[in-house]
Amino acid sequence: MQSGLPSADAIRDEGAACPDHAALEEFRLKWLGKKGEVTALMKTLGPLAPELRAERGAAINAVKDAAVTAFEARRAELDRQAEDAALQAGWVDVTAPARGRPLGKLHPITVLLEEVIDHFTGLGFEVASGPEIEDEFHNFDALNIPKDHPARDVWDTFYTDRREIPRTHTSSVQIRAMQTRKPPIRVISPGRVFRNETIDATHHASFNQVEGLLVDRHVTVAHLKHTLETLVQKLMGRKLETRFRPAFYPFVEPGLDLDVQCVFCGGVGCSICKGSGYIELIPGGLVHPKVLASCGLDPDEWQGFAFGMGFDRMVMMRYGIDDIRRLYDGRLQLVRQF
Ligand code: DAH
């Protein structure tokens, strides 16, 4: 010790002896804190004569440096020890096989849609698309649904401020297909449609349809029937009983509904098919002569069939999903697979 000051060695030893970060913090406060030794020593400089003050000031600075060095050295050591301990605790076995990540899955709508597209492209159909925001001509007029005709009320239509229509059905794409192609025409058009519906287990304000259109010479209901029956068989993986019932849609004549044997009860009758043994699945018919004409096709030369399947219902039947909201709320659970 020189002139009553602690030696650098003593300070270094004291720092090195701190067992942990808490003790080291005490060491720092003791030497370097505001009320610490170095500050106290500095205060003793005031009364000294200038030449003595310089010399003693330098010696006090050496004490301070020793404390800072001791503190930093020990802190680095303690930090390293802490890191080593953390590594030990979470020891990584680099030879272990990698942990699997949960895989994303395709949405059932996508899965079935890909099958439908595959089926129809195999039959020579192409996939056509149209805008989701339509005009009245494509959504209604050209489909033989005139303005102010009560048939328009069937589609609970949304309108935008500019009287555009979030399309109520994919039938609008029929019109676009006939306007842009020359027969023979074979297209399907999957897509979203929008209706001002109160949402419940069987209704949604936005859902999916797949429209189909074939225009050629000598087309009959038999072609439509066969096309739809093979589609159902393919999608359901087995032959199901089907039947056609007459139905009215302004853009087809005759209009028909294809019913399929209820997959829930096997045709015996249950609450889902309301005791009938059948589920109404695909509406369609022969393209109305007025619709052909509105697209510039001569109805005496060309005929066609069209259908528009509510795609969500198909998905629900296939996967046993009993509430349409499940398809859109991101909490999809498969109940049963048919
Ligand atoms: N567009 C009709 C709807 O949304 C479904 C439909 C019925 C489409 C008969 C057709 C058809 O192509 O021929 O209710």
Q: Are residues 130 and 71 in the same domain?
A: no
Catalytic residue list contains 155? yes
Q: What is the DSSP letter of 183?
A: S
The domain that holds 179 is classified in CATH as: 3.30.930.10
Note whether 21 and 78 are same-domain residues: yes
Which pLDDT score, from 0 to 100, does residue 297 have? 96
| In a shared domain, residues 66 and 138 | no
Q: Give residue 73's domain range.
A: 8-89
Same domain, 217 and 265: yes
Residues 133 and 250 in one domain: yes
Ligand 1 mean position, distance from CA 291 (Å): 13
Cα distances (Å, whole numbers) of residue 306 to 47, 275, 301, 317, 336: 108, 29, 17, 22, 31
> 232 and 291 in one domain?
yes
Answer whether residue 337 is part of any domain: no
Residues 182 and 218 in one domain: yes
Helix axes 8-16, 21-32, angle to 10 degrees: 150
In a domain, 47, yes or no: yes
Ligand 1: residue whose CA is nearest its atom 3: 169
Residue 244, classed as helix, strand or coil, is strand
Q: Which residues contact 324 (CB under 8 A, 6 or more apart)?
A: 201, 202, 203, 204, 207, 312, 316
Our count of domains for the chain comes to: 2
Tell me whether residue 61 is in a domain: yes
Catalytic residue, candidates 74, 169, 176, 288: 169
Residue 306 annotated in active site: yes
What pLDDT, on a 0 to 100 scale, did the predictor assign at position 337? 47
186 is catalytic: no
Q: Select from 245, 307, 312, 313 the residue to mutate for testing ligand 1; criterion: most ligand atoms less than 8 Å from CB.
A: 307
pLDDT in tens, the chain (338 residues): 446 889 989 999 999 999 999 999 999 999 999 999 999 999 988 888 888 888 899 999 999 999 999 999 999 999 999 888 878 887 777 787 887 776 778 889 999 999 999 999 999 999 999 999 999 999 999 999 988 887 777 788 999 999 899 999 999 999 999 999 999 999 999 999 999 989 888 889 999 999 999 999 999 999 999 999 999 998 888 888 899 999 999 999 999 999 999 888 888 998 878 899 998 889 999 999 999 999 999 999 999 999 999 889 888 888 888 888 888 887 665 555 44
Q: What is the pLDDT of residue 283?
A: 96
Q: Which residues of 205-222 are buried (b: 16+ CB within 10 A; e: fewer)?
A: eebbbbbbbbbeeebeee
**Is the C-alpha dihedral spanning 61, 65, 70, 76 positive or negative?**
positive
Residue 267 shares a structural domain with residue 165? yes
Handedness of CA 116, 121, 125, 129 (dihedral sign): positive
Same domain, yes or no, for 291 and 196?
yes
Residue 272 and residue 153 share a domain: yes
Residue 335 counted as domain residue: no
What is the value of pTM for the model shown?
0.68
Same domain, 309 and 251: yes
Q: What is the DSSP string of 218-243?
A: S--HHHHHHHHHHHHHHHHSS---EE
Tell me: do 214 and 77 sit in the same domain. Answer: no
Single out the residue in 25, 59, 89 at which a domain terminates.
89
C-alpha count within 13 angstroms, C-beta hemisphere, residue 12:
8
Q: What is the pLDDT, as a whole number, of residue 77?
A: 93
